[in-house]
């Protein structure tokens, strides 16, 4: 009998203790699950890229003429035209600074021409025995007028440039650029006197320099779009035309420059990187 009472009291005590423990557990605060904070992604311009461009050129050719070894005159002509081409390059980004190299090749419709009239006054007659004596009939020399036409064309050109810029805002790049320029300059010179004409056509590869600036924006994924200006100086192009007596020989020297505005798109292999 005594053992039965002991067993009942023990069971009651255990139940009471278990109830108190459960109540205490219910009062404890529940720890919230851990959630990792989102990681910000910052656009990185580092990587190789290729692209295409389309634009307009405002070229200029200033030409000096020398006839029979003596300076004769100067002309200038515009060399405007549409252009388009391809570019490729590589960028390195360090903080907000971006450094790169780019090469491009362009086809153009640039051309221009100018005319110069070469006039040699005639002699009415030759005096027989000095300026105060009568002219000898039939000894006059007629005046001569010659038309010199000069044309320049720039069928294609290319550049190899460095680029240095910074990112004023996320996904935007502002840069300056400069380096080597090269291209083919075609020249056609012709002289017409009366019904007689002679012409000379030459092609030469010119080397020069270029500087410019641009702005580029990341559109989506690896695609970017840009607006760019370039100034190019191809230096002097010289030619010589035998001509027609007495307007001979004729030498020309043209200084060819170009101002280019173009838009383009690039696709870059790379992407955003975890920065913070």
What kind of fold does domain 40-274 have according to CATH? Porin (2.40.160)
Q: How many CB atoms lie within 10 A of CB 93?
A: 21
Check residue 195 and give its pLDDT: 79
Q: Are 98 and 92 in contact (CB under 8 A)?
A: yes
Distances in whole angstroms, Cα of residue 4 to Cα of each of 1, 7, 13, 67, 68:
5, 5, 14, 141, 143
Among 272, 53, 266, CA closest to 159: 53
pLDDT band of 29, cuts 50, 70, 90 = low
Q: Which two tokens stand for residue 59?
A: 């070229």
pLDDT band of 36, cuts 50, 70, 90 = low
Check residue 263 and give its pLDDT: 98
Q: Which of 138-142, 173-177, 213-217 has the weakest average pLDDT?
A: 138-142
Check residue 12 and give its pLDDT: 45
Domain ranges of the chain: 1-30, 40-274
Q: Are 49 and 269 in contact (CB under 8 A)?
A: yes
pLDDT by residue (tens digit) across 111-168? 999 888 766 655 556 555 556 666 655 555 556 677 888 899 999 999 999 999 999 9
pLDDT by residue (tens digit) across 101-113? 999 999 999 999 9
First to last CA, the chain: 76
Cα separation, 253 vs 237, whole angstroms: 6
What average pLDDT score do residues 212-216 get?
98
Among 214, 188, 230, 222, CA closest to 100: 214
pTM value? Answer: 0.76
How high does pLDDT run on average in the chain? 82
Dihedral (CA of 89, 95, 96, 99) sign: negative
Q: Are 100 and 160 in contact (CB under 8 A)?
A: no
Q: Note the residue count of the chain.
A: 276
pLDDT band of 191, cuts 50, 70, 90 = confident
């Amino acid at each position: 009998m005594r053992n039965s009472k002991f067993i009942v009291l023990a069971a009651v005590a255990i139940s009471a203790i278990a109830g108190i423990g459960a109540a205490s557990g219910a009062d404890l605060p529940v720890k919230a699950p851990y959630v990792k904070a989102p990681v910000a992604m910052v656009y990185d311009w580092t990587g190789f890229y290729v692209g295409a461009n389309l634009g307009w050129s405002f070229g200029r050719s200033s030409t000096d003429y020398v006839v029979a070894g003596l300076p004769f005159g100067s002309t200038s002509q515009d060399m405007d035209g549409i252009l388009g081409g391809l570019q490729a390059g590589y960028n390195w980004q360090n903080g907000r600074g971006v450094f790169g190299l780019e090469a491009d090749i362009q086809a153009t419709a640039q051309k221009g021409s100018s005319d110069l009239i070469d006039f040699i006054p005639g002699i009415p007659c030759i005096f027989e025995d000095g300026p105060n004596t009568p002219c000898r009939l039939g000894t006059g020399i007629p005046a001569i007028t010659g038309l010199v036409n000069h044309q320049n064309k720039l069928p294609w050109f290319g550049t190899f440039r460095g680029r240095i810029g910074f990112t004023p805002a996320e996904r935007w790049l502002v840069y300056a650029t400069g380096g080597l320029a090269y291209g083919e300059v075609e020249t056609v010179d012709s002289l017409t006197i009366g019904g007689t004409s002679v012409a000379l056509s030459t092609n030469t590869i010119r080397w020069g320099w270029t500087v410019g600036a641009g702005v580029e924006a990341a559109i989506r994924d690896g695609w970017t779009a840009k607006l760019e200006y370039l100034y190019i100086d191809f230096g002097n192009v010289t030619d010589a035309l035998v001509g027609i007596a007495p307007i001979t020989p004729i030498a020309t020297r043209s200084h060819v420059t170009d101002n280019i505005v173009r838009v383009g798109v690039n696709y870059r292999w790379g992407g955003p990187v975890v920065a913070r």
